Structure 1
Amino acid sequence: MVQTSNPHHHHNNDHKTLVLKSAIYSRILLISLIIFFRTLASPYDTSASLNPPCLTTTVAATPNNTHRSPIASAIENGIVWDSVYFVRSAQCGYEYEQSYAFLPLLPLSISFLSPSILSSLLPQRSLFALSAYLINNLAFVLAALYFYRLSIAILKDPEIALRATVLFCFNPASIFYSSIYSESLYAVLSLGGLYYFVSGKNNLSVLLLALSGCARSNGVLNAGYICFQTMHRGYHALFHNKNVTLALQIAVVGALRSICIFAPFVAFQAYGYYNMCVGRFPDERRPWCNARIPLLYNYIQSHYWNVGFLRYFQLKQLPNFLLASPILSLAFYSVVHYAKSRPQIFYSLGFDTTIEEKSCGVVFLSEDLLRSKVAGTVEKSSVRAEAEKSCLTKWFLRKANTQTELKNPGQTGPSAI
């Protein structure tokens, strides 16, 4: 009996090495380009020089007139735009109202991980900025590895997963992942959480997805995956198993997990309300403090930066839309292509599909349903492995049929393999 090796396992180590190299090389290339272009021209934003002393802490910011080494100056010149808020929050805490638009995971990471061994060589602000660069670039490398593993789990195609990951490493918005922004931390936590989610490790998944809400406000949208899974599992328990108790249990667990993902963002809004509103005289209270739902984040975005629903859709933003049109067109085409190729799944949100199809997306299924799919009583890990093996087998058969059909048109099916 001839045993065929699994290409997924055969290429797994080689692909991971390529992913790791792509992520590291892309960061080196990007940082080199940043340094090169900054030597040619000054940054458009000049906020790096804005560094008044801290208001309420004992830590003092570096005065503008203090002599800094060329290395420190080069590092601090990269503190522009939103980076100013992240570094200042790490250094001085949340002093100003608009600072609360920037969630605390990156500032806390900078504060905790700043190498004190360099404190005698660099000013504190330069040290915090250097730490932020290291944190974000390391987080991006980890995000690329999770992106590849997640792509393998969903696509069941190592080659496509590798290509997608390389494109992720060299994506057009890559500079945000290497600058002092929160995108890298958000990416690694979201992609890691989704990978463990599709792997069935829901508790670890919820923890990472909740932490993503500490990095960026849109982390709360990751609760949608939990809601979607709960919807499918509850539907199956109620209408297929006729088990009301199980359906209620699934709904309660899904709700609790979703609340956990929302909790960090809500807690930070409560923290802002306590600092900015509680204990102040009525004439000192900001307008949002008296709202029925005092949501600081929405007020800041609207009041300081005019961010709101459809406000970005202005004629003056047309160049930005044209710049984004290739990626938007590709995303739109992908959705349309999937809808045309699998309309039954697309338009029914996955409800109107077979058990075999659902077993390939174990996100939707409970372990009880997977047990009913596999003969005999086995452990959870064995059930999931069996479902995964079945999906991989189907994928290899489809790929072999496609390759054979390209070589010998008209000859398909098992006989052609």
Structure 2
Amino acid sequence: MRSWSPYRRPLDDPVKSLVLLWTAWKLVLNLVAILSPFPGYDTSTTILLNSNRLVGEHENPILHSLSSKRWISNFVKWDAIYFSSIAQRGYIFEQEWAFGWGFTRLISLITRFFSKTELDVSPDRTAWVGVSISHVSHLLSVLVLYCLVLSLKHQSKIPKVAFITAVLHIISPAGLFLSAPYGESLFSLLNFSGFLLYVLSRRTPLSVSRRRLKDDVFLLVAGVCFGLATTIRSNGLFSGIIFAYDVLTSLPNILKILQDPIELRRISCTILGGISVAIGFMMPQWIAYSEYCLVGSATLQREWCTRTIPSIYTWVQEKYWNVGFLRYWTLSNLPLFLLGAPMLFLLLWSSYITFQKRNITRDPKGTKTRFPRPNVGQEHMCLRSFALVQIVLALLALTSFHFQVITRISSGYPLWYLVVAQKAVAATAKEENREDHHFAQSTVLWMVTYAVIQGGLYASFLPPA
């Protein structure tokens, strides 16, 4: 029996190989962070991590000594300062509601679980917990993405495609953001889990009259995962598009659905799944609304309380970060658009490729057949739904976001990884396609280069972030 080799035969034990590659890549990024100038352009991190000295006798000298080192300090930059401080003392200032409620609450919950008293909950502790969550979530999201592609059983050369897809997520251009106390890693884990469960829910073709209860449970839990992801990052709301799409495409057969208990159960779980995604967005908004708009006199209420849709998130993004339609389209931001352009291209191009693909395969005699098995069509419909989500993300990032964040928020969407992986596998086939080979090679080179350079800039508290 041949022994496993992570370099020559990684598919002999793909999970072990992925863990090894993930570890190696993390060591590279950690080295980049450690070698970056300290304390960097801004001293906010130093001030934050030293603030626990105010707790006096409750200060943990060992933990404080560790958190003073460059390793943890170089992870807590930019928004990570907000995430760590909010997790430590809760939401105080209005603009802090722009930062994922779900992620800060999880950090706070875990930190308090391992703290003896409330005074032990310090910024350095929350920073360590945030970094730990991000590392673990990224590793798990790599494995979930691998399982997601494997679940698409009718893709060609699927084991190799699944492995390369997961590797691409390891070296994602999000880079150090997948290790720092940011929500990107946890969002990826939850979003990939939602997509995986959604694919599993469609494994039984709709043409089969006795749809399994397990499929509908998967569908409902997928919505819950997307909803939890939305509490981490608001763009998780876009994943609800797949449920809306399913409901809209079912409307022509609504009378038949209402008369069939199995179909009625399916459409009910689809609607409930979509509602779960909406709840993930609305719950933090309601908590903030209760705090700012349901207490005190009407004259003291904030302006956003009287809006038709009183969302504190959209308000603070608009007021404090100038987020809005075409607001980012200024000449000074042109370099940031150029930095994010490759990722925008990958999102739109992979979506276009998915919509253009036809479900044509060959039978053993070589005759072309369309949809030879119902599952093939079902899986392609899933991919088209994923493409719709990517398109919405890309277009809103282009028109309404701080555009450079597209390189990190795209890390939680599986389709573009999959399409690039398919190109890479096609390029290594006997009938080598030079165009595919050049594209795959250039894409990987860009991802690695961007992640390393961005990691050094991030750790030095320099843009882009």
Which of 258, 261, 270 is residue 277 of structure 2 equivalent to? 261
Counterpart residue number, 1:83: 80
Deviations 1:88-113 (A, max 9, x none): 22111111111211222222221222
Aligned amino acid, residue 192 of structure 1: S
Q: C-alpha offsets along residues 327-363 of structure 1, whole Å, 9 cap, x if unaligned?
A: 333444434444555399xxxxxxxx96546522546
Q: Tell me, in whole angstroms, the C-alpha distance in 1 between the residues paired with 2:348 and 2:328.
A: 20
CA contact (8 A) 2:191 2:225 kept: yes
Offset, 1:123: 7.3
**Is 1:307 the equivalent of 2:302?**
no
Q: Determine which of 131, 142, 147 is the counterpart of 1:144.
A: 142
- Shift of the alpha carbon at 1:158? 1.4
The one of 131, 136, 150 aligned to 2:129: 131
1:170 maps onto 2:202 in alignment? no
Say which of 239, 252, 256 aligns to 1:222: 239
Match of 1:16 in 2: 15
Give the Å deviation of 1:23: 2.0
Match of 2:400 in 1: none
After superposition, the Cα gap between the structure-2 partners of 1:272 and 1:52, relative to the gap in structure 1 and judged at 3 Å, is: farther
Partners of 1:259 and 1:105 in 2: how far apart? 17
Instruction: Give the one of 286, 296, 310 matched to 1:280.
Output: 296
Query: Aligned ranges for residues 200-215 of structure 1 at < 5 Å?
Result: 200=201, 201-215=218-232
CA distance in 1, matches of 2:43, 2:21: 32
Q: Shift of the alpha carbon at 1:248?
A: 6.0
Deviation at 1:228, TM superposition (A): 2.5
| Alpha-carbon contact 1:119-1:127 (below 8 Å) kept | no
**Structure 1 equivalent of residue 365 of structure 2:** none
| Cα distance in 1 between the residues matched to 2:42 and 2:299 | 35
What is the TM-score of this pair, normalised by structure 1? 0.71
Q: Aligned AA for 1:317?
A: N
The one-letter code of the counterpart of 1:132 is G
Amino acid at match of 1:190: N
State whether structure 2 residue 134 is matched by structure 1 residue 98: no
Check if 1:73 corresponds to 2:68.
Answer: yes
Aligned-partner Cα distance in 2 for 1:339–1:279 = 50
Task: Tell me which amino acid in the other structure corresponds to 1:205.
Answer: A
Change over 3 Å in CA distance of 1:311–1:360 after alignment to 2: same
Q: CA deviation at 1:138?
A: 0.3
**Deviations 1:229-269 (CA, angstroms, capped at 9, x unpaired):** 3344555x559xx5553466654432222111111221110
Cα RMSD after superposing both structures:
3.8
Contact 1:118 1:127 in 2 (8 A): no
Alignment length (residue pairs): 345
Q: Which has the higher contact order (CA 8 A, sep 6+)?
A: 2
Q: Find the aligned partners of 1:291 and 1:243 in 2 and give their Cα distance.
A: 38
Gaps of 5+ in 2: 1-8, 202-217, 361-368, 383-424, 433-465
2:246 and 2:136 map into 1 onto residues whose CA distance is 31
The 8 Å contact of residues 359 and 365 in structure 1, kept in 2 or not, is answered as: no
Letter in 2 for 1:203: L
Q: Which has the larger radius of gyration?
A: 1
* Alpha-carbon distance in structure 1 between the residues aligned to 2:27 and 2:381: 42
